[in-house]
Structure 1
Amino acid sequence: MKVTIITVCYNRKATIEKAIKSVLQQNYENIEYIVVDGNSTDGTKEIIESYQDRISQYISEPDSGMYDAINKGIKLATGDIIGLMHSDDEFYDSKTISRIVARFEFYTNTEGVYGNGVYVSNDAEERLIRNRIGGIFSLNKVKDGWLPLHPTVYLKKSVIDKYGLYSLNFKIASDTEFLLRYLYKYKIKMTYINVYIVKMRMGGMSTNTKRALEVLYEDYKIYKYHGLTAIQAVFLKKTIALRQYLVH
C-alpha cells in the first residue's frame, strides 16, 4: 500500500528541514513524498533541494495560497492513501505511517483514518501547549462542532478522487469545509487510531492567534453552507478547542 505525503510551504526556512526529515525518517518504505513550494525567496528552496534525491516529486512555483498548493500535490499523487505534513510540523515518531497503514489494512472498508496530535511551543524547549485527542468518530459530534485534527487525517485517494479537492473560496479554513464535506455531507467511513500522529508548532498558519477572527468568520460561513446551525457549531468548536489547552 503506497502512501503519498504532501508538504506545501512558502518561506519556511526555519522549520521546513524538520518537516522533511520527519517524513524521510519513517520506517515505512512505500512512501511517495511530494513537496510543493510557492516559489520561496528566503532560502527554503535551497533546503528542499538538498534533499531532492529523496523526494519523489518537487515543484516550486507561485500559487494562490496553501490550499491551491495542496491541490497541486494531490493531483500529482499516485499513492493509495494521501496525507499532509505541514511545513511547521513533524511526525510524532518514526513509526507513525506504519501504524496508519496497519489500520487501513485491518479495517479494509474504512475510507479514512485519523488520530491524536499535540501543539508545542515554537522554541527549543518545545513545551506542550495543547493536547488534541481525536476520540471515536461520531456524526453527532461533527454536528456539535467536533472535527478530527486536520494533519492527522489520511484518506484513500479513491475517495478524494470521488469527492473533490480543497475549496479555494476560503483562505485559512478550507480544511474545515473539506472535512465537513467528507464527514458530514458524504458520511465517509472513518476509523480512529488512538496514537499521536503529529506534533504541531504554535505560530504556524493554523495556530496563529492573529488570524483567530478570520478563522471564526470563515468557519461560520462554512457551517452555514453545509446546513448546520452555524453560530452554535462554531461556539462549540471553539469551546472544545479551549478545553485542550494545558495550564502551566
Structure 2
Amino acid sequence: MNVPPRISIITVVYNRRSTLPLTLASVFGQTYPHVEYIIIDGASTDGTVEYLEQYRSQLSYFASAPDAGLYDAMNKGLDQATGDFCLFLNAGDAFYAPESLAELVAEITEPDVYYYGTAVMTDGKHIFRLNPMARPVGPLCPARGLPNHQASLFPRAFYQNNRYDLSFRIAADDDYKIRALRAYPNQHIPSLTVIFELGGLSRDLSRFRSVRQRWQDAWALQRKHFPGNYARAWRTVKFVLKSFGLFALQKVTGFHWKYEWYFNKFQRIPEGEEGKYRSYFAG
C-alpha cells in the first residue's frame, strides 16, 4: 500500500481493572504511529471506568454502558472504527513487543486481504504458541486451526459490513473469522503478534458447560457454513465425543492440556525458551 494503513485497535472490557494496565501499556508502547484506539466498557463497577478516564485524551473513542455481552460490545467497537484494518485486543491481552504491530503492517500489500499474525499464550505455568492450519477453512476448522482472533487484521471492506452473530454463545469470533476467510484472500504472517493469558469467555464458564457449549456452537457453525456435508459432520461428531473423553481424563488427572491441544492446536514452547515469554507478564 502506498499510504501507511490506519489500524483501529478495539478493546472491550468489563470489570478487568487488574489486567487492563498491561493492555493499555502495550498499545501505547507500539512504535507504529497510525493507530486509533477504541475502548468499549460494559458499565464496569470495579474501578475500570475511573482508571480509563485518566487516559481519555489518549483514546480515539471511549464509552461505558451496559451491553448484551462480549460480542455485543465488540460490535459497538466496530461501529466506531474507521481504520483500514481493525484488530481486537481485549483486556488482559497484549502485543508481543513494541514493534509487533509495525512488523505486522509491514507485510500488508493490499487493502482487501485478511491478514493474521501468530499468538503466544500462557496459563501461568507453561507457554504455548498457536499455529494456524495452512488451509484454515473447512468443516473442522473451528476446532483445529482458525487464525487467532487477537492477531487478526480484518480489512475495512469486511468489518464495515459484518458484525458478530450474537446467536453464538462462545463461538461468534470463530464464525466471524470463517466469514472473513471465505470472503477475502488471506495471508498468515509468521511474526509473533500478541501474547495473552488463557481464560477467555469459553473458559470463564464451568468446564462442563464450556465443553457442552463448544458442542452446540460447533454444530451451529456446521449448519451455517457447511450445510449438507454429512460425512465431514460425522467426523466432527467423533471429534467432539473424543473431546468428552479427554475432558473426563482432565477431571481425573487435572491434566487438561491434551484437551486444549486437541481443540486449539497449541505447540508447547520448550522450557529453555519460556523465560523470555513469561517475563512479559512479570512487569
Q: Deviations over 1:153-204 (max 9, x none)?
A: 1011122224x111111122101111122224x3x11111001111111223
Q: Which residue of 1 aligns with 2:186?
A: 190
**Residue 161 (structure 1) aligned with residue 160 (structure 2):** yes
Q: Which residue of 1 aligns with 2:266?
A: 244
Task: Identify which of 130, 133, 137 aligns with 1:132.
Answer: 130
Paired residue type of 1:128: H
Q: Which residue of 1 aligns with 2:77?
A: 73
Q: Which residue of 2 aligns with 1:44?
A: 48
Paired residue type of 2:266: Q
RMSD of Structure 2 on Structure 1 (CA): 2.4
**Residue 15 (structure 1) aligned with residue 19 (structure 2):** yes
**Residue 28 (structure 1) aligned with residue 26 (structure 2):** no
Task: Identify which of 42, 62, 66 aligns with 1:62.
Answer: 66
Number of equivalenced pairs: 237
| Contact 1:115-1:192 at 8 Å conserved across structures | yes
* Residue aligned with 1:150, SS: coil
Paired residue type of 2:10: I
Gaps of 5+ in 2: 244-259, 272-283
* Residue aligned with 1:27, SS: coil
Query: Equivalents in 2 of 1:50, 1:88: separation in Å?
Result: 18
- The 10-residue stretch of structure 1 (224-233 or 112-121) with the greater mean CA deviation from structure 2: 224-233
Q: Deviations over 1:52-107 (max 9, x none)?
A: 22111100000011111111111101111111001121111111111121111xx3
**Residue 102 (structure 1) aligned with residue 112 (structure 2):** no
Query: Equivalents in 1 of 2:154, 2:148: separation in Å?
Result: 13
Task: Identify which of 188, 199, 202 aligns with 2:198.
Answer: 202
- The 10-residue stretch of structure 1 (227-236 or 217-226) with the greater mean CA deviation from structure 2: 227-236
Pick closer, same or farther for the CA change 1:110–1:232 going to 2, 3 Å. farther
| Contact 2:119-2:192 at 8 Å conserved across structures | yes
**What displacement does 1:50 show?**
1.7
Pick closer, same or farther for the CA change 1:143–1:233 going to 2, 3 Å. same
| Contact 2:8-2:85 at 8 Å conserved across structures | yes
| Contact 1:3-1:32 at 8 Å conserved across structures | yes
Query: Equivalents in 1 of 2:121, 2:160: separation in Å?
Result: 31
Q: Which residue of 1 aligns with 2:140?
A: 144
Q: Deviations over 1:126-157 (max 9, x none)?
A: 44342202354x25x53432311111110111
Gaps of 5+ in 1: none
Greater C-alpha Rg: 2
| Contact 2:115-2:188 at 8 Å conserved across structures | yes
* Residue aligned with 2:138, SS: helix
- The 10-residue stretch of structure 1 (228-237 or 143-152) with the greater mean CA deviation from structure 2: 228-237
Query: Equivalents in 2 of 1:128, 1:93: separation in Å?
Result: 19
- The 10-residue stretch of structure 1 (63-72 or 225-234) with the greater mean CA deviation from structure 2: 225-234
| Contact 1:2-1:81 at 8 Å conserved across structures | yes
Pick closer, same or farther for the CA change 1:109–1:232 going to 2, 3 Å. farther
| Contact 1:134-1:194 at 8 Å conserved across structures | no
| Contact 1:67-1:168 at 8 Å conserved across structures | yes
Query: Equivalents in 1 of 2:192, 2:10: separation in Å?
Result: 19
Query: Equivalents in 1 of 2:181, 2:234: separation in Å?
Result: 19
| Contact 2:139-2:222 at 8 Å conserved across structures | no
| Contact 2:261-2:267 at 8 Å conserved across structures | no
**What displacement does 1:17 show?**
1.2
Q: Deviations over 1:226-245 (max 9, x none)?
A: 12544534738976436526
Paired residue type of 2:174: T
Paired residue type of 1:198: V
